[in-house]
Each structure stands twice: as structure tokens, then as C-alpha cells.
Chain A
């Protein structure tokens, strides 16, 4: 067995742990390679456009966990860090997408036992009548154990306008578990920034248990165009060169309009472009259709969008 594998052994006997001097060198790079984290971070770089602050924070967390493992391997005390997180950002900035990836990452780093995300909203946690909430919340927690619990739009848990709201009960159970079961569960809250701030102000206990606040910035026009390219590829379509230019125009116009939802608006735009493409092909069905036509989204499929007439 290689030295690195020895260092990784979580079952190292107390004797080896008590004498850190026995292993004065730690091969951090070997730990890094073995965790498979490099590929995961690289995959994230390719498949997620932009999001630099988010990616930086994830790298920092990865480094922290690797160093923590190295410390433990030579017998230094290594309290597992608290990794409960809060993702804030405008609609469609990738919060849900990144949360789903966190589980794989934290699992690769050995922080959680299982590579799973249980994704819930208020309705999954809060009951309808007295005595309904605690069992519901506990059921969700049991399912999430060992992995990541993702609570989307967490502020709906707290409804100050109704003082008998059962959401508070769910929050209290969550607080308890976030404190007592740190080794078993990572909780990620997500939502819009301003509402999340209000939520934390009225639930200081929750705020103090969250170690990482990660802010998802809005995308730049160029990033949105790149996202559009990635998405078309992912759907096995192709943007004709003129269609790509049309897409760039579309993005600039759409960004200035109300209810703009970042990457989600792009996804919706592409879905509608597919619809127009299908109709265009269908109308011309008398003629033979080349395989290439089935693949390609043409300029007119995008230009005919309402965005250009408003």
C-alpha cells in the first residue's frame, strides 16, 4: 500500500494518531487526486457558465476539507467544520443547480456519507394542524440523513403575520438537528437575497448556524449567450450563426424587460424557439427535410419572438 493510502485510512489506530511525528509529511496532492475532486471541479467549470464567486467559495471549501483530512491523518485535532450554507440570488441564477452538485462534491471529499440531495419546500416540512408538523419535518430529516437537505425559498417557513403558524415548529426542529447532527447532514437554504435577509433577522438562531453565505450574481449578457450555447448543445440542437446573433440581440432586449429570470429566461426562450422550429418544419413537410434542418435553430425561430416587437 502506498504511503498516501495509509494516511487516508480513517481506521488509523490511536497509537498512530497519538504520534503525529511519525508521519511528518502528508501528501496533500495524493489526497486531492484520490478524492476525485479535481474532475468534479473541472466538470463544474465546463458545465456552469460564470458564477466565479460561487466556484471560488466551493474551491475554498474543498481545500478546507482536504486539509482537515490531512490534519486528521497525522493525529491533529480536526473538528469537522460546519458546512450549512445559504445560497442567495435572483431567479434563475443557478442556486438549485449548484445545490444539487454540492452533494457530489461533499461526498467526494468524504464530508457526507451519501451522494444524495433531498429537496424540499415549506409544504414538505410544515403540517396543516397541531401535531402534524413535527412528524413531517422529522420524516424529511430522516430521509436526508447522510446527505444534503436543500430547502428552497426557506423564508416561507417563517410567516410573521400569523403568530400561530406551524412553520416556527419546523424551524426549531431544524435548528436542533443542524446543531446536533452536523456529521450526518448538510442543510442548504436558498432564496432571494432580500427576503432571506429578513428571514435571518427574525431567526438569529438560523443565521448563526449557517457558516457559508454564497451570493449568486446576475449573469452578464455574454455569459447568457454562452449558457444558451451550452443549453442548445445539451438538447442536441445547434444555433445557426445568424441565429446566434439573433440570440445575442434577444438577450440584450430581454434583460431590459420585466420578470427577467437569468438563465431560466434563456431556457424558456430556447423552448419556444424549438416550438417555432418544429412548426416551421412541419409547415414545409411536403419537401424532404435534411437531418441538419432537424438539428438547426434558424434565425427566424428566434427573431419571431414577442421580445422583438415589444
Chain B
């Protein structure tokens, strides 16, 4: 199941050229660009791991692309996203957020039902991938203790 989160996620995956243009757009607005990654694709997971600090002092997209490449190379089997922060309100506001890397195989989500009092049904989703410990969730990445 192809994960859809953030901007552009119903489009085909962005090419490097397209990512460069989006990043340049953000920089031209004066926004800081950050790279984050995770192997927990749950839509409510808002705590992705930061790949370094947000880049506050760049003018050209190439500098960001270097970090994106480094992050993708280090975590080819994880989700990687690009964020753009706008500080013009006096605090950092997320203006852009889009995926730029995903695992080759995405097992998708299981729908869980739980029956409560009065036969009321509560629903939740659970990623099949998170059944395994972090770091071993996506095919071929069973590096730890294997």
C-alpha cells in the first residue's frame, strides 16, 4: 500500500529535479528547510527523527539536496520527508511537508475493531511494519542482531 502523507502524495514520486524546484521555492520564500526520517508510517506519528538541524542560512537548493541525498543514502528503506518552516509569525510554522523517499515494499495498515459497552465499535489502524522493532521493519533491513 503506497503511503500518502503531506503534499503531492497523490502524485507520482517527485524526481530530484522536482524536489530541487520545491526546495528552491521554499528558500525563495525565506523559509527554513528541514529533512526528517522514520520507519513508523502511522499518520499520527508526528515525531520523526531530525536529519540534522533545519537549514536556516541557505539560499540555493543544492545545499539542501546534499543533505537529502545523505539522508536517503543512510536510510534507503525508511520514509524521508522535507519540511519548510515559516518564521514570519514569530514562531516556526510548517508551510510545506512532503515525502521524498519510501521503502521499496510498504505492507500497509491493518484496521482494528474493538467492541465496547453496548456493542459500540472503536476503530484504529496499525501499521503492519511496526509489528517488528525499529530498524527491522522493512525488507532486507534486518541489520540488528541478524
Contact = CB atoms under 8 A, between A and B. Distances in A.
Interface string B22-61: 0000000000000000000000000000000001011111
Contacts of A108: none
B50 to A, nearest CB: 15
B62 interface: yes
A142 interface: yes
B136 interface: no
A146 B64 CA distance: 11
B11 interface: no
B108 interface: no
Contacts of A143: 57-59, 63
Contact of A113 (B58, B60, B64, B67): B60
B1 interface: no
Interface string B59-77: 1111110110000000000
Contacts of B67: 142
Interface string A176-204: 00000100100000000000000000000
A145 interface: yes
A147 B62 CA distance: 11
Nearest to B64: A142
Interface in A146-193: 146-147, 181, 184
A132 to B, nearest CB: 15
Nearest to A184: B62
A145 B66 CA distance: 10
A122 interface: no
Contact of B66 (A113, A116, A142, A147): A142
B53 to A, nearest CB: 10
A147 to B, nearest CB: 7
A17 interface: no
A145 B57 contact: no
Nearest to A177: B66
A181 B64 CA distance: 14
A113 B62 CA distance: 10
B38 to A, nearest CB: 23
A146 to B, nearest CB: 3
A2 B61 CA distance: 32
Nearest to A181: B62
A142 B58 CA distance: 7
Contact of A147 (B55, B57, B60, B61): B60
A55 interface: no
Nearest to B63: A142
A138 B60 CA distance: 14
Contacts of B55: 142
Given A142-B66, A143-B57, 5 more contacts: A113-B60, A141-B66, A143-B58, A145-B63, A146-B62
28 contacts: A113-B60, A114-B59, A114-B60, A116-B59, A138-B66, A141-B63, A141-B66, A142-B55, A142-B58, A142-B62, A142-B63, A142-B64, A142-B66, A143-B58, A143-B59, A143-B63, A145-B58, A145-B60, A145-B62, A145-B63, A145-B66, A146-B59, A146-B60, A146-B61, A146-B62, A147-B59, A181-B62, A184-B60
Interface of A: 113-114, 116, 138, 141-143, 145-147, 181, 184
Closest 9 CB pairs between A and B? A146-B60, A142-B63, A145-B62, A145-B63, A145-B60, A184-B62, A114-B60, A143-B57, A114-B59
